[in-house]
Amino acid sequence: MAVGLSQTGYLSEAELRDSPGVPSEARRRRGPVAVIECTEHIPCNPCEASCRVEAIAVGADITNLPRLDEEKCIGCQSCVPICPGQAIFIVDESLPDERAAVTMPYEFLPLPEQGEVVTVLERSGAVLGEAPVTAVRKTERMDQTAVVTIEVPRAWSMQARAIRLKR
């Protein structure tokens, strides 16, 4: 039996591979796209309602897992702060020099600042390394969730899921 979320508290690589919300590597290489790491069948659908291009579908049964239409997704980030489980990220593997941008929800204070170097964490909380913050977005509509973008080595793009400030 594979070890996963119910045993460790974080998603395994196998659970992610089977998720209907994870776009292909080819799509991630073409530009920003949502990565939906939701594997729980719970009543929830704000991601579907927030997607103005209808790239996310949950359906009439709101306990369905969200499905991503990777060809429709424009990586606009509207789904990132709206997800109550903080399970949606934007990944852009199209940057030069084997780099990638990872956009994630962030609900701590103080907020990081653009240009600040932060510690990058994987799902388990283990440290991947350091990376610069390239953008911080927080609006009234986003309630208490900011959206932070970091630039990482492309090899980290599907692992980097949290940051820790160094200050």
Report the pLDDT value the prediction gives residue 1, as an integer from 0 to 100.
44
Give the pLDDT confidence of 46-57 residue by residue, as tens digits: 999 999 999 999
Percent helix, strand and coil across the chain, each rounded to 5? 15, 30, 55
**What region, left, alpha or beta, does residue 94 occupy, with left being phi > 0 and alpha being psi -120 to 50 degrees?**
alpha
Give the pLDDT confidence of 107-131 residue by residue, as tens digits: 999 999 999 999 999 999 999 999 9
Give the pLDDT confidence of 134-143 residue by residue, as tens digits: 999 998 887 7
pTM, full prediction: 0.93
Cβ neighbours for 96, distance < 8 A, ≥ 6 positions apart:
none
> Is the CB of residue 55 less than 8 Å from the CB of residue 69?
yes
Give the pLDDT confidence of 21-35 residue by residue, as tens digits: 999 999 999 999 999
Spans of all domains in the chain = 8-164
